[in-house]
Structures are given as structure tokens and as C-alpha cells.
Structure 1
Amino acid sequence: MKSKKQSIGKFASAYGKFRLFVLEQRYLPRWAVVVIDLSICLLSFILAFLILKDTPIKFYNVLSLTEKALVLVSLHLLCFLLFRTYSGIIRHSTFTDVYRLALATGSVILIAIVGNIIYQIITGDRIFLTTGLLLYAFFSLTLLIAFRITVKEIYRFLRAAASTNFKKRVVILGIDDQTISLTQAMLMDTTSEFRPVAFLSSKEKRKNFKIIDLPVLYSEGPLDNTLQKINAQFEIDGILIVSDLFTVPEKNSIAESCFNLGLDVYNLAMPEQWKKSSDMQIRIAPLQIEDLLERNKIEIDTKLIAEDLYGKTILVTGGAGSIGSELVRQMAVWHPKKLIVLDCAESALHEIDVYLKKNYPDLSYQCYLADVTQRGRMEGIFAKFNFDLIYHAAAYKHVPMIEKHPREGIRNNIMGTRILAELACQYGCQRFVMISTDKAVNPSNVMGATKRAAEMYVQALQRKPGVITKFITTRFGNVLGSNGSVIPFFKKQIADGGPVTVTHKDIIRYFMTIQEACQLVLQAGTMGKGGEIFVFDMGKPVRILDMAERMIKLSGLQPYVDIPIEITGLREGEKLYEELLNNGECTLPTYHPKIMVSGVVEYEYEPVCQALAELDIMINQVGKKKHIIKKLKMLVPEFISQNSIYMDLD
């Protein structure tokens, strides 16, 4: 018994070494491929001779057997060189390689037959038997193809065997045409890091049922119990779902069940979303927190937006920022007459410039490194281009930073907006769309107050006699993945091993993807008559602590065990929840279900303009910040500071 085990062990060891040796080999040199192919041709000649040797057919004796073999093999060498049959890589042989072999072999037989006929006309005798030539062609072509198929399959088998131990064992959730085709693709792709071991369905149970040789398992009762049994039987690493086949609540339920058992959840896009077969590996990824936030898909009227942007010269300020750059990307699709991207961040502006140059080489655009607070610079740009549309996304947005540096927040967010708005009127722009924020609603911090003051100014300017520019404000909450937003921040903290910091256990926020927000901005731009504030439906608010816990679980870790969560206290100017409407505002629906128009409080132009002029003087003089904030609070009476040194001014 011991001897038998030792023999098995030696065999396994030898097999492992052989497999490693094969996989580590580089491609065969071309001369080696030619030598192997010629050896196969010689073998084919011998086989043809052995078969005909014992038949009544008589051989022609013009040439000896050795000379005949030499002639045919030499002809094959000539045709191999002519059709470059050696240029392909054996382990990656394709139909093209087979086609070249067939051409080479066919040419050899054709040359031999023609030579036979010519020799017979001249001497009355023949060199080769026609039957022998046909047998030689059959054997040589068959063996040449068989050699390539054998090498290809052995390499594929050894590669698959070598990687099986490192693949993640997953159960495919659901049985339909999509999941079956996806599973087949994964099984055929030896480079995939996933190995499907079973299907899981909640439909009526059928015993001993298999699809593409994988067992079909059935969910009975709670998913947690089913997964526990499956894990015990198959030792799985996780569940793979086709994201488009499940609603957000269903994905949340699946994720929670997997979290409880320490299993991963993987997400796979539908096949029609792949641009090429190699996307299979790219599109399988761990489920992200964005996939678990309950937001219905946003539909926009692309035809209306395309007509709105067509033939227009457009300015996007803050065009290198999170929102501005996404607006630029979406606008570029519709090829406006001219697109001007303006930002004061050099590196980020360079990135969007490279992106546009690569992806939209025919787009007429220019990138300007400029500051919206520099009136002279702005006036030069407005004078150069006859702008039809302006999308104003340039702003300082980080609450704690602006709380500490209110002068810069006022200069950029208020005075920069005033400069651009005045120039828009002066040069007769058709429309000015300002990107605002939910932090402008009953603001509790300087940043929100500056955005509210900017809103007030463009609304007041709209009422000024002689103004033809339509001023439109769009207001929405946090965008997922934007610079400095909470999700990238949490991801970095988790990657660093924690702790994950949350300012308050009850703090909630609204979230929307950057793509969705910009789509709605463009859609709202087509609606405005002038002076409106458009408010976006942000869906359900999310408790930030719940998000932090869920993100830690999605990383395969346990909150409070592997990654601590610390409650740090509200930051300066931060409030527990954001609002989308000010006191005295109400909303009316529009034709788009995700966009509402706010019934705003109207402001007279002269008082607002006078207040901004006084603020402009104050921020450019030496003085206490509290004096500036007091003036800002007079302009924006709903500005009530929270967790701030300015609370005593209220």
C-alpha cells in the first residue's frame, strides 16, 4: 500500500514538473516548426507506401523510394515557405493556419500531378502513382492539422489545470439565457479568475438537474441557510450576480446574506454591454456601494438635448472639476459648434484636454487656464467668442476649508459668478446655467451661504430691465465619486486599514452619480425660461454610518472588528441632514419626473448688487473675518451657522 502511494506521489510530482515545463516554454522558433512539419510529411509518405505495398497496385520504378520521398518533402518545404505556414504560433492556431496548410498541401499534389503528366508526355512513363499522391496528401494534411490541435488542446488543458487552484469558486445566481451564456464564456476563458461551480435558482425544484455540466441548486427558505449549505458542500468564495437582472433591494438582500457568511458578491455586466470578448474579465468586479444605493435609473430626452447644443458655442467653467469635466464629456458626444473648457487647475485641465484630443479628434474645442474672478481675463475670453450657452460649475465646495477661508469662498463663489453673469448679459448670451448645491438651502456654513448668495444674484439679475440672457439654477446634493466625496474617502481609509471616520452616527445625505447629475443639468437647461431654480429628485437619503459599514463588508472585512469606525463629531458648518428647498419655497413638477422647479422668493437687483459690492470691498481689505460673515448673514438671512465660530453672529 505504501509503495502504491509512493508511486502515485512520484507520478503526481512528475506530472506537475512536466506541466510547469510546458507552460514556461517560449514559442517554438520558425525553423523548428518547419522541421516538425517536414518530419510529419516524411511520416505521411511512409504511411502511404505501407498501405499500398500489399495491394496489387504496381509502383513506377523511375525513381527509388528514397528519391520519391525526397522530391515530395522538398516540394512541401517549398510550399511551406511560399505560404508561410510556419508563421503562426502552434498553441494559438486558427482557421487561417489550417487554410495555409491546405493551400501548401494542395499545391504540392498539383505540382506532382502536373510533373507526372509532363514526364509521361516526354518519356511515356510516370514517376508517382496518383493514388499514392492522394494518400500522401490526405495523411500529411490530416497529421499537420492534428499536430496543431493536439498542441493547442494540451496547452489549454495544462493552463486551465495550473490556474484552477487559484480561481475563485463562485455560484451563479439565476438561470436564464443570460446567466447560462455568461457562465459558458467564463468556463471557456482559461484566463478568467472565476470558476463557476453551480447555479442557484429559486424556481421549482428538480432533482439531479444540470446545465452545461454544472449542478442546479435551489433556494429553500432564507438565502442565508441555502448559502450556508452550498458553502459546506462546494467551499465557495462568493456569489456572482448579473447586476441588471436584480433590483437594488434584491441586491441589498443578497449582499447582506453573503456578508453574514463572509462570502464575496461579484457583479457582472450583460453581454450586450461588452465591446469585445476581453471585456469579460474587466466587467466582473466586486459589488460596489454604488450598486446598493436605491436610485431609479434616470432617463433623459437625448434628442432635445442634442438639438439644444447643436451649432452652439458653449463655455463650461470649472470644466476640469468633477461636475464640469463630466458635462464636457457629455457635451462632446453631440459635437457643438465650439466648446470652451475653462479652469484654474492646470493638471486637471491638462487631463481633460488629453481626453478630448484622444476621444473626440474632430471636436472644435479649446482649454483655457484662467480664473473666473479675474474680470479682465474673463472679458477677453467673452470678447473672443460669441458664447450661446454658459454652464457655470466653477466653485469652491469643501465646507471645512471655506469655513476657515471665507474670503476665498466669497471671491470665487459669489464674485466669480457675478463677473460671469454680467459678461453673459453684456455679450448677449442666450442662457446661463449655474450649478448650485443643496447646501445653499437654509445654509449652515459659509460655503452654502456663498452659493445661496450666487443664486440670489442671478435671480435678481434676471429681473433687471433689458436682460435677455436666461439665468437658470440647478440644485442637487452629493455626487458619488466626485473629488473629496465620502465614498473615495472611505475607500482610502479602508485600504489603509482604518479607522473609518464618520462625523455623526445619525448624519444622512442624498446621493446621485456624476453622470446622472450632469444629464439632469443638461435636461434642465432645455426647460428654463429664466430665473428658475430646478431641484433634482435625489431619491432616498442615505445614513452615512450604514454606508461605512456596508463598504467595509463589501471589502470582505468586518466593521468594528477588522476595521474600526470612529465617530469624530460634526465638522465646522456641517449639519445632520441637507434640504433641497429654502423656507418659503415650494416645488412644481416638470415634464421630467426627476426635475422639479422651485417657486422661489424674488429679490430686487439693486439691493443685492449693493450688498455684493460692499462684500467685494471687505474681502479685499484687512479686517476680521467675522465682519465679513456678518455682512454675508445680512445678505442671506436664512444663513444660521452650526458647529462654527460664527454662531455668535446669529
Structure 2
Amino acid sequence: MFRVNREMITSGDNYLKISSLRYLPRWMVLLMDVSILFISLSISYYILSNITTLPSVLPVVAMYAIVIGITVTFMLIFNTYSGIIRHSSFVDLQKIFWSLFLAIVVILGGKYAILLTTKIKIFYTPLILLYFVISFTLLLVFRITVKQSFLFLKKLKKSQEKKRLLVLGISNHSVAIAGAILDNDNLPYEMNGFLTKRNDSKYARLLGKRIITREMVLKKTKEQLAIDGVLLLRELLDKDELDEWVTLLLEKDIEIFQAPIVEEFSNNRIEANIRNLQIEDLLERTPIKIQNGEIMKRHFEKAILVTGGAGSIGSEIVRQVAQFKPSLIVVLDQAETPLYEIEIELREKFPDVNFKFILADISNNLRLEPIFEKYNFSMVYHAAAYKHVPMIEHNPHEAVLVNVLGSKNLALLASKYKVSRFVMISTDKAVNPTNVMGASKRVAELFVQSLQDIEGNTTKFITTRFGNVLGSNGSVIPHFKRQIQNGGPVTITHPDIVRYFMTIPEACELVLQAGSMGQGGEIYMFDMGKPIKILDLAQKMIKLSGLEIDKDIKITFTGLRHGEKLYEELLTDGSKTLPTPNEKIMVSKDPTMEFNEINTLIKKVIKAALRRDKIEVVIFMKKIVPEFKSNNSIFEKLDK
């Protein structure tokens, strides 16, 4: 009932904007004060006239004019009308008291002076004293009323803007977070109760708030439940429980918020810790169990090179490697601004780590060799690559220069300068590629593997394959977020398209683990779990943003892009997998090529790339990677 009345008061044309006023004009305050003085004198006159006969030396109008005039004069002297009433303080009350007191002193002083000289009694003393008491009381009540009215309307307005939340669960942690919200009135949240699966709690109350069961949520709408959202504590839920609750709440268009357990933050930071549940939170999987001892041995007091170090994967590799106290980390990238930004971040976060930030293009071997010669690297993490499928499909020669030639340069230098381990970051798009980007990465894989057995090589060459990485530069989730923030539409290439996903930390943990366990020549792949339908992903993201599909944000289908396929694969047709000590990591036994064969073919494709001959580039790539069949591309004709 209160909710309805509150909305009637504060919505539409009836919205009370009084609480938004900065202050009442001074003339208005003075006018109200004069009105109160008039009312006070009238009340005093009425009371005493019913008790006794008042002397009538002066006409009533003259008496009113003199008494109120003298009082107003002292109010002007003390500026009683100049303060902001809703912020009235003890000082303001003192001003009112002294203006009234001195006015009464002057009035009674004048009365007795006239009485002594003329023997005429112009004022009735009890009337003036009663006027003093009543006027002071009413002026005080007026200011208190205005102040409390502003506070009430402000609170009402603020309450109207607050999100009405249920806290999921009735554990000690849930009660603690609910109590923290109740104790902080400045939060934009209103604690409305608790939500639980347990049916034995529906008649109980916690912290004076109701307990709502899952069955009640199933049967009622969020309007009937009088809530806007549910706050959950991620640490208390396993993935299945989280998915179950999220599915139910999104079906009911109920917003979902999350917070850490209450011990992890203080009350003055509670608002910063409560946020909307993100799609990344739903896609997070069980972390990889990495062998920190082995990884520490590979990095402690060693010189490390990370190419593409300003990118999303490369920069996370740097962050993780920095924890193992290497003697040096060289961060190499050709993107100037991102490299500068990551330098600022890393120097601040790891002040004790020795960093070198190098702006360079990996296709320029003359630029790379002095770096290898100078720093004596123990490990190289090669994350630099062009990766955007449609862009590379239109520029296949650039893919060859960076993904193929750049990888070749780095791998040969790693072997020449006796780098202990070379870890290349590849992609699941290299498996049975349907686009130039995937094919270029497969060519690079074949070349890197071929170096393992050449005469005199001591470097262990290791490749890791990823699916799509959540939140990486240019990936689908940041793209969808921008579209949702801009009001839509959210664009999807095909309603049936599916992809594998992992988090950036997961991907980089895999890189470090693979780099430590590899014996050379392996392609490591990750247990990616189940593929995710992109349409389902977009729908959940819209709902998690508190918006309605089609009403607030539309979803449109644009058609498959050049080189794009519906389903990604993790293994080539002729490959087999072998287990490793880590159950999440497997070795893919893909077909390989001899160094001389792959090197000859790569030289030809690089020459074609330098001539900017797109067709010839793709023809040579299809010779190197026979399973490369173009899809939705101008290069499909080459497969016929």
C-alpha cells in the first residue's frame, strides 16, 4: 500500500519537487514569520479576552501594528529570515529568541515609560508575555516542521529511487550482508527480505524482514513480490546452483546483483562491492590446478620475452610471470599506446620487477635479433598475432607477414640463441580452418613444430590452442556490452552459431603450465567444456543488464562473416589426444611437416605476401594446410 501511495506522490505531474529546492526565498520566510507573529498575537488576545476584560486605550489595529512592527524590526536586525530553514540550527533558534525577547523588552519598557509619565496603560503586560511564549513556540514549530518535511520528502524520493532487494540465502553470511545494507541508509538499495529454497522458513523473519521461498518466486511476478532484484554471494554457490537461480530470476525479469562475503569489505565500501552479475561470472569454470613449483623454477631470476605483451593475453601472461620474480621481463609490441598504458600499469603494480618495454614489429628480423642477442632469454611467450577473422580475410598478405613471418623470425632466433623454451599462442581456428586467419596460425604451428628436430636445436618448442577468451580485445562480450550500452541492437551473425569460451586468467595459466611441462614439439589443447550458443549469451547479457529483449534491446542477425563457421573445432581430423598430468590439459597429436618442406613453402607464401598478391597467398596456404577450405569467402573458388 505504501509503495502505491509513494508512487502517486512522487510520480508524473504530482511529483513533489520541494525536496529539490535549494532554499525558500528570504522574503517568503519573512512573510511566513510575520504571519506567525500575527497569529500568535491573535491567539494571545483571544485567550485573554475570554478570561478578563482587556484595557482598550489603543485601537486593536494600532496595538497589532506596534507589537508586530517592533518584533519585525528586531528580526531584521538579527537576520532571522536569512538562514536555510531545512538546515536550522541552535544558532538560528538563538536569533529568534533574542529578537523576540528584545522586542518584548522594548514594548514593555515603552509601556512603563508612558505609564510613569502619563499614567496611561497602553499595553496589557500578560498579553505581551503570552504573545512572546506563543510566537516563539510557533516560530520554533514552523522551522522544525519545514526541516522534517524536507528530510521526509528527501528520504521518500531517495527510497523511490532505491532498488528493492532480496538477499539470497539465510546463512550467517547472507544475514551479515543484509545487516550491512540496513545499517547504511545512503546505499541505493532497500533490503526487502531473504530468498531461500527452504520451505520451513516462509513464516519466519530475519532482521525483521520477510523470507520468500523459491516456490513463491515461481508463482508470482516481481511486481507481486514487490522487488527489483536479488543479491547473491558468489562464494556460497556452486556453478549448478548459480545457473539454476540465474535462469529462474532472468525468466522473471528480476535483476541480479552480487557481492563478496561481508568480511571482505567494510561498510563504508559496501556500495563499491555490490554490482550487477556479469556474463563472465556465469561462464567462469573450475580453475586449472597449476604446478607453481615447476613454473617458479622456469621463471625465477630468468629473462623472459613476451611478444604481443600489450594485448589482452600477452599482458596477462606478463602479470602472472611477474609473480615468479624473474630477473627481467621484456614486453614487446608494435601498438604504441597500449604498450605505454601497460607500462604504467605494470610499473605501478610490480615496482620490484625489472621491465623493458620495446616497440617493435615481429616481421622485422633486423629489429628482433639485437634484442635476442642482448638479453639472453630463457623463455619466450609468443602472443603477438593478427586475430580478427573478417579483417584478415580481406588482407591475407598481412596475416602472412605477422602470423607466419613474425612467428618464423621469433622461432628461428629462439633456436639460434639457445632459448630454453618457446611457447606459441595459437587458436582453435587453426583446426580445419575455414578462414585465412586460422590457416595462417596453422602454418605457424607447423613451422614451429618442425624446428624441434633440426640439427643443433636445443629449444623446446611448445604450442597452445585456445578457444575464445572472455573479455579479450575485440571479443564478442565487450562488443555486446557496447551495443547494449548504446541501446542496441545486439548483432549476431547467425542464430545457431556456437563458440567455446575460457577466461583470460585460465588461458594464461594454461600457457604457463604448458611452457613448464612441455618436452618440445607438442600442441597442447584445453578441456574447453561445453560450447555456448552466442544467441543465448546475448539474451542473458541483455537480461543481466536489467533490460527486456525486443522492448529495450533488439537482437538482429547479420549473416555469417567472411571465413566464419558455425562451429569451432579443437582437433584436426587426423589428430589424437594424449593425457597429461593435468586432467584439464591434453596433447593433440596433429600431422607434422619436415623443416625443409615447410620452410620452402613458407618462403614462397612470404614472397607472395610481399607482392600483395592475395590469391597467390591463399593458394600457397591451401597447399601447406590441405584441410583449409574457405567458407563464405571470395577464396571459395580456389577449393573447386
Q: With structure 2 as the length reference, what TM-score do the two structures score? A: 0.74
> Residue 494 and residue 517 in structure 1: after superposition, are their counterparts in 2 closer, same or farther (change >3 A)?
same
- Give the distance between the partners of 2:160 and 2:578, measured in 1 at CA: 59
Distance 1:214 1:19 in 2: 31
1:568 matches 2:563: no
2:570 to 571, 580, 586: 580
Structure 2's unaligned 5+ residue stretches are 1-8, 10-15, 24-88, 90-149
Indicate which of 396, 406, 410 corresponds to 1:416.
406
> Do the aligned partners of residues 240 and 407 (structure 1) sit closer, same or farther apart at CA in structure 2, a change above 3 Å counting?
same
Give the superposition deviation at 1:18. 9.6
1:148 corresponds in structure 2 to none
Give the C-alpha shift of residue 459 in structure 1: 0.5
Match for residue 594 of structure 1 among 570, 584, 587: 584
The correspondence of residues 496-515 of structure 1 with structure 2, limited to 5 A, is: 496-515=486-505
Q: Of 237, 257, 261, which aligns to 1:246?
A: 237
Cα drift, residue 172 of structure 1: 0.9
1:612-635, Cα deviation, whole Å (9 max, x unpaired): 11122221125x311111011101
The corresponding residue for 2:248 is 257
What is the CA–CA distance in structure 1 between the aligned matches of 2:535 and 2:206, rounded to whole Å?
Answer: 42
Residues 363-382 of structure 1: CA distance to partner in whole angstroms, max 9, x if unpaired? 11110011111111101111
CA 1:162–1:307: 2 relative to 1, 3 Å: farther
Deviations 1:82-113 (A, max 9, x none): xxxxxxxxx9xxxxxxxxxxxxxxxxxxxxxx
In the alignment, is residue 188 of structure 1 matched against residue 178 of structure 2? no
Does structure 2 retain, via aligned residues, the 8 Å contact 1:224–1:260? no
- Going from structure 1 to structure 2, the CA distance change for 1:503 and 1:163 (only over 3 Å counts) comes to same
Which residue pairs with 1:358 in the alignment?
348
Shift in Å, 1:271: 3.2
* Partner of residue 171 from structure 1, selected from 154, 166, 175: 166
- Name the SS of the counterpart of 1:165 in structure 2: helix
Which of 193, 196, 212 aligns to 1:198? It is 193
The answer to whether the aligner puts 1:224 opposite 2:215 as a matched pair is no
Kindly provide the amino acid, as one letter, of the partner of residue 258 in structure 2.
N
Does the aligned pair in 2 maintain the 1:315–1:390 contact within 8 Å?
yes
Secondary structure of the equivalent of 2:235? helix
Q: Retained in 2: the 8 A contact 1:159–1:190?
A: no
Kindly tell me: are residues 278 and 405 of structure 1, through their superposed partners in 2, closer, same or farther at Cα, counting changes over 3 Å? farther
Q: 1:16: how far off?
A: 11
How far the C-alpha of 1:184 sits from its partner, in A, is 1.3
TM-score normalised per structure 1: 0.73
* 1:629 and 2:618 aligned: yes
State how far apart, in whole Å, the 1-side matches of 2:357 and 2:190 are.
47
CA distance in 2, matches of 1:447, 1:336: 33
Q: Secondary structure at the residue paired with 2:241?
A: helix
Question: Residue 160 and residue 517 in structure 1: after superposition, are their counterparts in 2 closer, same or farther (change >3 A)?
Answer: farther
Partner of 1:299: 289
Partner residue of 1:288 out of 278, 285, 288: 278
Residues of 2 paired with 1:183 and 1:159: CA distance? 23
- Greater shift after overlay, 491-500 or 504-513? 491-500
The letter for the 2-side match of 1:575 is K
Matched, 1:371 2:365: no
Distance 1:342 1:164, change over 3 A: same
The answer to whether residue 440 in structure 2 is matched with residue 445 in structure 1 is: no
Relative to structure 2, which stretch is displaced further, 294-303 or 610-619? Answer: 294-303
Secondary structure of the 1:617 match is helix
* Equivalent residue runs for 1:119-134 within 5 Å: none
Q: Rg: which structure is higher? A: 2
**Structure 1 CA distance, aligned partners of 2:19 and 2:428?**
65
**Per-residue deviation, 1:277:** 4.7
Q: Is the 8 A contact 1:239 1:264 kept in 2?
A: yes
Within 5 A, what are the aligned runs for 1:431-470?
A: 431-470=421-460
Give the CA deviation at 1:502. Answer: 0.9
The question of whether the paired residues in 1 share the 8 Å contact of 2:605 and 2:616 is answered with no
Classify the secondary structure of the residue corresponding to 1:205: helix
Moved more, 507-516 or 563-572: 563-572
Structure 1 residues 207, 356: CA separation in 2 closer, same or farther (over 3 Å shift)?
closer
Distance across 2 between alignment mates of 1:590 and 1:545: 34
Distance 1:534 1:168, change over 3 A: same
SS of the residue corresponding to residue 519 of structure 1 reads helix
Letter in 1 for 2:628: F
Alignment partner of 2:258 out of 267, 286, 290: 267
- Conserved 8 A contact 2:333-2:361: yes
3-state SS of 1:305 partner? helix
Letter in 1 for 2:227: I
Whether contact under 8 Å (2:19, 2:154) holds in the other structure is no
Secondary structure of 2:306's counterpart equals strand
Aligned-partner Cα distance in 2 for 1:372–1:278? 48
Q: Which amino acid aligns with 1:492?
A: R
Contact 1:499 1:564 in 2 (8 A): yes
Tell me the distance in 2 between the aligned counterparts of 1:416 and 1:559.
44
Shift of the 387–511 alpha-carbon distance from structure 1 to 2, 3 Å rule, reads same
After superposing the two structures, state which structure 1 stretch, 584-593 or 442-451, moved more.
584-593
Q: Deviations over 1:536-577 (max 9, x none)?
A: 111110011111112112222222333221111111111111
CA separation of 1:220 and 1:565: change in aligned 2, threshold 3 A: closer
- CA deviation profile, 1:322-349 (whole Å, cap 9, x unmatched): 1001111111222211000000000000
Question: How far apart, CA to CA, are the structure 2 residues paired with 1:268 and 1:353?
Answer: 31
**Structure 2: distance between partners of 1:589 and 1:159:** 64
Alpha-carbon distance between aligned partners in 2 of 1:619 and 1:294, rounded to the nearest angstrom = 40
How do 1:86-165 and structure 2 match up within 5 A? 163-165=158-160
1:478-493 superposed matches below 5 A: 478-493=468-483
Letter in 2 for 1:232: Q
Report the Cα offset of residue 21 of structure 1: 8.2
| C-alpha distance in structure 1 between counterparts of 2:541 and 2:199, whole Å | 34
Aligned amino acid, residue 173 of structure 2 = Q
Note if contact 1:402-1:447 (Cα within 8 Å) is conserved in structure 2.
yes
The answer on 1:642 being equivalent to 2:631 is: yes
Alignment of 1:308-457 (within 5 A): 308-457=298-447
Cα contact 2:202–2:213 (8 A) shared by 1: no
Measure the CA separation in 2 of the matches of 1:515 and 1:191: 35
1:611 to 583, 587, 601: 601
Aligned to 1:494: 484
1:294 and 1:343, CA in 2 relative to 1: closer, same or farther beyond 3 A?
closer
- Which of residues 204, 209, 213 in structure 1 aligns to 2:208? 213
Sequence identity of aligned pairs in percent?
47
Partner SS, residue 592 of structure 2: coil
Q: Matched residue pairs, number? A: 503
RMSD: 2.6
2:121 corresponding residue in structure 1: none
Report SS of the residue matched to 1:461.
helix
Residues in 1 aligned to 2:19 and 2:232: alpha-carbon distance in whole angstroms: 37
Partner amino acid for 2:559?
G
Letter in 2 for 1:266: F
SS of residue matched to 2:621: helix
